[in-house]
Amino acid sequence: MKAHDGMYIDGAWRDADGRDAIDVVNPADGQVIGQVPAGTALDVDTAVRAARAALPGWSATPPAERAARLSALRDVLVARKDEIAEMITAELGSPLKFSQAVHAAAPIAVAGSYAELAATYAFEEKVGNSVVHHEPIGVVGAITPWNYPLHQIVAKVAPALAAGCTIVLKPAEDTPLTAQLFAEAVHEAGVPAGVFNLVTGLGPVAGQALAEHPGVDLVSFTGSTAVGRRIGAAAGAAVKRVALELGGKSANVILPSADLAKAVNVGVANVMSNSGQTCSAWTRMLVHRDQYDEAVALAAEAAAKYGDRIGPLVNAKQQERVRGYIEKGVAEGARLVAGGPEAPREEGCYVSPTVFADVTEDMTIAQEEIFGPVLSILRYDDEEEALRIANGTVYGLAGAVWAGDEAEAVAFARRMDTGQVDINGGRFNPLAPFGGYKQSGVGRELGLHGLTEYLQTKSLQF
């Protein structure tokens, strides 16, 4: 696929308002692999107007037809899955096998799930002497991050389309070529003109214009808590709906009865996956004092095996940020048992898989989201202390609990202030609601709960 030098608006590629462009850089070698236009507020306005014009027709389209378009979209993504994986590897630096298995496969599954939900969801229900209609919220402004470029797009666009909404997407500036490929797929799937629109650009320019646009009824944003606060404030001032999927500092709690080796090895793999650039990564491993030294040794050994198997971070700024956190961990007294701040190679934005022991809950690396391949291991004396440490951050996105007895793990998980918990290594479920407690966000994505984010209710009394 050759990069488009325009925006996808109202069913066609059209020239951008300005002449500024964004270089797309491969973080593995620093090479520029493409350019996309840097959208302006005028580009956003044009896209929102197209989405508003298309809204009456699309919202009135029978759900079965919306489902058919989503099925067609899934089929196009399946046909182009190898191209998608190669594109994400080029833009993000993710190893190709991971791009194929996760970056391409997960959004295909999500698109398929919304094709089914659009066909089966009860858009009206009888409640006593009322009929409640579930209607589309309207025009959606979607602002997506770079860490899972296609998955985050599909997790917003697919339910919005299923609900009958129209959408304007502003993707992350680091991975816009994947978004252009997605726009091609939408076009190929026969989604009507204006229903889906794409504006590439910088967050403070195009993203802000989209979040603040009076023609947008719901802003769905995935990214940092700091930016999420600003979007939430702007949406609140305009009394418009907002869905925010923000940061995380998830705890991986290993109870004494657990299979320690399995829990540690899976825990390390979880943090190193996608080079640690996962908001739900289990970046804090909590281990009982009696098993602590063994767990640290196992984690150091597991991390050392990763070596060259993880890709670079997305850009040089992110690389410097993560190395800064590693240096801060050392400065605050944590003990490095794997990795460190030195770049493992001269070329590319790489960071060594890093494990810290002797981490205390007040350290920066135990409280702040690092967004890199960095694991902190904390010790606890009893279950109550483990729970206090697990719940002791401003975040609450995900987590894990390991125990010899499943019921014991579930009882602990039920007391965690977090939106998702994996029990003894439970697998990711694209139908389960994903989202956080506390400062990890507002609202849910995926499955039925993800669909209802894009609906509002109207009650008719008889």
Placement of tokens 């705890």 in the chain: 251
> Does the CA dihedral 180-185-188-189 come out positive or negative?
negative
Distance from C-alpha of 138 to C-alpha of 151, rounded to nearest angstrom: 22
Is 279 labeled as catalytic in the residue annotation?
Answer: yes
Distance from C-alpha of 357 to C-alpha of 365, rounded to nearest angstrom: 11
Half-sphere exposure of 311 (CA within 13 A, CB side): 23
Is 165 labeled as catalytic in the residue annotation?
Answer: no
Q: How many CB atoms lie within 10 A of CB 360?
A: 14
Strand 335-338 and strand 196-198: the pairing is unpaired
Task: Identify the active-site residue in 173, 245, 369, 408.
Answer: 245
Task: Identify the active-site residue in 279, 369, 408, 445.
Answer: 279
Please choose, from the candidates 311, 298, 318, 303, the residue with its C-alpha nearest in 3D space to the C-alpha of residue 270.
303
Residue 428 is given by DSSP the state P
What separation, in Å, do the N-terminal and C-terminal C-alpha atoms of the chain show?
55
* CA angle centred on 183, ends 180 and 188, rounded to 5°: 130
Q: How many CB atoms lie within 10 A of CB 340?
A: 18
- Active-site positions read 245, 279
